[in-house]
Amino acid sequence: MINMPAWQRCLDAQFGSPKPGKYRAQPEDFWVDEQLDFTPEAHGEHLWLRVEKRNQTTLDVVKTLSRLCGVTPRDIGYSGMKDRIAITRQWLSVHLPGRDAPFELEQSLNALGVTVVEQVRHPRKLKRGVHRTNRFVLRLSGEAIESEDFVSRWEALCQHGVPNYFGPQRFGHEGRNLQRAEALLNRGWRKRDDRQGMMLSTARSFLFNELLSARIADDTWSQPLAGDTLMLDGTQSVFHIDASDATLQTRAAELDVHPTGVLWGEGEAGEGDAAVYEARLLQDYPGLCGGLERSGVKQARRALRMRLLEPQLAWEPDAVRLSFALPRGSFATAVLGELMLVS
């Protein structure tokens, strides 16, 4: 059985292990705002709601909207999953052709800790992954922020980027989602057993994190290697390189391009120096790799590094407040993991 490892931190070689710290002692310590890069068109069959929720998961809100509006959960769209113990703002859409939302909708949501900030019509359902960034404001406390290297750690992340790990929430409590994924892939993945594809995502996320951890250990995670596939910063555009050169090294140092790691699935094997890390995954985790290939999921790429957007640090009595934005699909917990030890 595969257990959750302790993945490498990029700052340990420079600063040593961080000190223990606290975050999310209360929902107000972890604030997230989902940012679209377009404006709904103000007409159409779908009612788009921008909501602010406290102590509610995205799926909790979906279930509530389904009940209140008399629609099935599949008639409700959302772009990303947001944390429960947090104050989060995000968009959801409800398919309501030819009718308005129930009169009591906002009052009923308010009673559950959900506020409708904005509502507007749009011709299409909100699809997964269409938001551009998430804006975070995090309040941290504890021994970590009292350490003399805390600010230096933060400045290093702002300058050089952050390992783009999938956060621990992807793997469930004590890594139980990973154990479920391993068991499902070993017996043969079937859609009816994993309708949302969560187990496939869990397995791919684990393998990606393993590859990233190995490249951090070798200090190759932020610079292009021969055979790498690079991603342009702020986009999903990728290009393959046969060899690295001074120009690419400079672009990587300036956070213009990032090396990528494989999201395992059907596809061609890598080549060059970068392929060594993929071959190691296949050797160490043949069950996960083989099971993903047999499932039919297509190979994809994910940047090994993320850039902090508009980072800010402000001191408070006995706490520090960090503000930054991340590309969709990136985890604030990966940032925290470089700054402090979290349980």
DSSP letter string, 199-254: HHHHHHHHHHHHHHHHHHHTT-SSS--TT-EEEETTS--EEE-SS--HHHHHHHHT
- Residue 83 among the catalytic residues: yes
* Per-residue pLDDT tens over the stretch 61-76: 999 999 999 999 999 9
User: How many Cα atoms within 13 Å fall on the side-chain side of residue 315?
Assistant: 6
Catalytic residue among 83, 194, 228, 233: 83
Token pair for residue 121? 């019509």
Token pair for residue 193? 């057993």
Token pair for residue 145? 């922020």
Question: Strand 229-232 vs strand 238-240: parallel, antiparallel, or unpaired?
Answer: antiparallel
For residue 343, the model assigns a pLDDT of 63
C-alpha distances (whole Å) from 142 to each of 18, 23, 138, 146 are 12, 9, 13, 7
pTM higher than the cut 0.85: yes
338 in Cβ contact with 17 (< 8 Å): no
* Per-residue pLDDT tens over the stretch 213-222: 999 999 999 9
β partners of residue 230: 239, 259
For residue 242, the model assigns a pLDDT of 95
**Distance separating alpha carbons of residues 19 and 167, to the nearest angstrom:** 19
C-alpha distances (whole Å) from 85 to each of 9, 49, 158 are 25, 21, 26
Token pair for residue 260? 């990528």
Token pair for residue 161? 């980027």
Q: Look-up: residue for tokens 């470089």?
A: 338
For residue 18, the model assigns a pLDDT of 95
For residue 233, the model assigns a pLDDT of 96
List of the chain residues with pLDDT < 70: 343
For residue 342, the model assigns a pLDDT of 82
**Distance separating alpha carbons of residues 309 and 324, to the nearest angstrom:** 6
**Distance separating alpha carbons of residues 58 and 10, to the nearest angstrom:** 31
